[in-house]
Amino acid sequence: MTLNLRPDRSILTNVPLFHGLDEAQQDAVLAQAHTRRVPKGGTAFDEGSDATALFVLVSGHMKAVKTTPSGQQAVVHFINPNDFFGCVALMGYPAYPATAVAVVDSVVLAWDITVLKQLMATHPQIAANALPGLGDRLRDAHKQFLELSTERVERRVAHALLRLVRHAGKKVDGGVEIDFPVTRQEIAEMIGTTLHTVSRVLSAWESQGILEGGRQRIVVKKPHALVAIAEELG
């Protein structure tokens, strides 16, 4: 659903895409935005649909999911608060290559791509801010491709967990918690393996005290041990 209330400019403060804009410029950007609530399990856009808007996640968590030729679901990456997504619209692609699914109830801002390009022309800082984010996506995609092609499964699981910790880690007593619900099936979909394999690996790490698991909850108790596995330091 689209909200009629105009969002407050303060929500742009921590969004890297809009760093460096003054209050008047932030107001101009927000005046062109649409605010949407996306309930858990709902989508901001679907794979194959026309790429007509760019989005920023205000609150909640989402994931980009792609359907493989065999009909299986693959988690491309998770989307965290303040991230922009749907960036293929900005790059001129006609359709979204994946579906953006809400992991929990979420709120997004959306800009029509024609309007956003006009804003970028008026405020070049937005375009400059977008480049590092696009570069990060390409670098992560390249790294994940290499992991899928060359690494044994334990290293791939470790790398996937470390990415989640880096982007959505929250310090808690005894370790670092991934700050949104994530299932073993989703981890399996991230690294191209089976639920059984991921469960076996995580259960072994739980018994070794490296992490603590639960229903859709993961706390990394020994990050250094996870890094050692990911980089084969031991």
Tens-digit pLDDT string for the chain (234 aa)? 344 345 678 889 889 999 999 999 999 999 999 999 999 999 999 999 999 999 999 999 999 999 988 888 899 999 999 999 999 998 889 999 999 999 999 999 999 999 999 999 999 999 999 999 888 878 877 777 777 667 799 999 999 999 999 989 999 998 999 989 999 999 999 998 999 999 999 999 999 999 998 778 899 999 999 999 998 865
N residues, the chain: 234
Asked whether 17 and 133 are in contact (CB, 8 A), the reply is yes
